[in-house]
């Protein structure tokens, strides 16, 4: 089920297995958490200074999980490294042993950050079934957009890579779109195609999906640099960080969706239009 969110699915006192989304290799096996807690926003420490009339009591504090903790962030979750040994030679990027895909990065000597677009989490008693890469990426990113729009009334986002560069500007128009497609109509299957993946309805003569409608601007090769700089300095814009490779995958997914639309519906005020299922 691609409609799950970590906050709704992960519960304390339950055992989970973490899989590499790209190849299905087990990353963390049968981990049971005593605490599953949401992390504060990225700039929480700066906000504390505005509220405290004395020295920041959390200035030297770090929010690192203990052995039985799982902390949920914007686009990632933090685990105590324990005995896991998926670190690269640089000791910063965490990679899958089997397919060498970047899964996350080390935050400290005992804390690992895994990105939600790179890892599938399932209860230990469930049988793992692989998910198409493009389908999974667009679903997880769409969920992040919907959650932030609902919780913080934020509708503009920058998609950043782990290298700190901005790759995409996204403006969320609405999150209540419903896409309906007949199974007999194969012309739009390429909308959700990435590296050979085909997004096909699971059953029935008609497929339906919840979707978000977004406007976006690519920012690779210095495109839209002035606009990207303006958005980066705008407090009304929220940054979402993913692995650089995933940002490029997402940009390709967006482009494929846009080209599937009628020419008259592909642009709005210089932004490109895209529907993303989740």
The whole-model pTM stands at 0.82
Per domain, the residue ranges of the chain are: 6-123, 133-277
Token pair listed for 156: 């503009």
Among 44-48, 67-71, 144-148, where is mean pLDDT lowest?
44-48
Q: Tell me the per-residue pLDDT of 217-238, one tens digit each, with 9 for 90 and over.
A: 999 988 999 999 999 999 899 9
Residue that wins the pLDDT comparison between 274 and 152: 152
DSSP 8-state symbol, 24: -
- Distance of alpha carbon 46 from the chain centroid: 24
pLDDT the model gives residue 192: 37
- Bridge partner list, 275: 213
Is 195's pLDDT higher than 70?
A: no
Q: What's the pLDDT band for 188 if we cut at 50, 70, 90?
A: very low
Per-residue pLDDT for 61 more than 80? no
Beta strand residue intervals within 118-198, DSSP E: 119-123, 156-160, 166-182
Specify whether the CB–CB gap between 260 and 188 falls below 8 A: yes
Between 265 and 39, name the one with better pLDDT: 39
pLDDT the model gives residue 189: 37
- Tens digit of each residue's pLDDT (9 = 90 or more) over 139-148: 899 999 988 8
| Cα 217 versus chain centre, distance | 18
Whether 138 and 115 have beta carbons less than 8 Å apart is answered as: no
User: What average pLDDT score do residues 167-191 get?
Assistant: 70
- Work out the pLDDT band at 125, boundaries 50, 70, 90: very high
The CA distance from 24 to 266, in Å, is 35
Q: Tell me the C-alpha distance between 172 and 156, whole Å.
A: 6
**Helices 133-152/244-260 angle, 10° precision:** 90
């Amino acid at each position: 089920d691609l409609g799950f969110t970590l906050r709704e699915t992960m519960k304390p006192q339950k055992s989970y297995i973490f899989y590499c989304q790209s190849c299905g290799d087990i990353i963390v096996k049968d981990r049971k958490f005593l605490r599953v807690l949401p992390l504060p926003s990225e700039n929480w420490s700066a906000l504390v200074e505005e509220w405290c009339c004395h020295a920041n009591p959390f200035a030297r504090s770090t929010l690192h999980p203990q052995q039985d903790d799982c902390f949920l962030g914007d686009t990632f979750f933090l685990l105590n490294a324990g005995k896991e040994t998926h670190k690269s030679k640089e000791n910063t990027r965490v990679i899958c042993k089997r397919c060498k895909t970047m899964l996350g990065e080390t935050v400290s000597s005992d804390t690992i950050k895994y990105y939600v677009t790179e890892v599938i989490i399932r209860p230990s008693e469930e049988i793992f079934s692989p998910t198409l890469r493009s389908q999974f990426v667009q679903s997880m990113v769409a969920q992040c957009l919907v959650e932030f729009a609902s919780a913080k009334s934020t509708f503009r986002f920058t998609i950043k890579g782990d290298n700190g560069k901005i790759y995409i500007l996204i403006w969320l128009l609405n999150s209540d779109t419903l896409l309906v497609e007949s199974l007999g109509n194969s012309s739009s299957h390429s909308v959700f195609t990435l590296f050979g993946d085909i997004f096909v309805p699971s059953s029935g003569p008609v497929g339906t999906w919840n979707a978000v409608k977004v406007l976006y601007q690519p920012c690779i090769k210095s495109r839209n640099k002035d606009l990207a700089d303006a958005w980066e300095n705008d407090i009304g814009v929220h940054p979402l960080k993913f692995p650089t490779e995933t940002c490029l995958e997402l940009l390709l997914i967006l482009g494929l969706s846009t080209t599937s639309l009628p020419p008259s519906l592909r642009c709005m005020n210089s932004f490109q239009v895209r529907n993303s299922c989740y």
